[in-house]
Amino acid sequence: MSARLSAPHPMPDEETDTPHPARFRLDCAGEARVVIEQDERFPLAIGAQLWDRLYAELCLVIAHGRARSEAGDRYNPVGVLH
């Protein structure tokens, strides 16, 4: 998605082939932004600055989760609340 935001022209849309399909596209009108749609409803538009922050946070979460899984830790969402 970061590559999409840096492109000066539109790029082909991407679609996921999952139980909850989504389409990712670049909106070049005005400020470049990534638009995520599921079932063509409620599009979520994320501006370039917010996307950079979100991407950085996701990278940290993935790295942390991977380290915990390799250490044999299991995430227990109910246990976290207690």
Residue-wise pLDDT tens digits, 15-26: 888 888 888 888
In this prediction the pTM is 0.57
pLDDT of the residue at 21: 85
DSSP state for residue 11 in the 8-state scheme: -
- Indicate the pLDDT class of residue 13, thresholds 50, 70 and 90: confident
Q: 52 Cβ partners below 8 Å, 6+ apart?
A: 2
pLDDT for the residue 9: 67
User: How far is 80 from 82, CA to CA, in rounded Å?
Assistant: 6
pLDDT of res. 78: 57
Distances from the Cα of 48 to the Cα of 18, 38, 53, 72, angstroms: 26, 20, 9, 36
Q: Are 2 and 52 in contact (CB under 8 A)?
A: yes
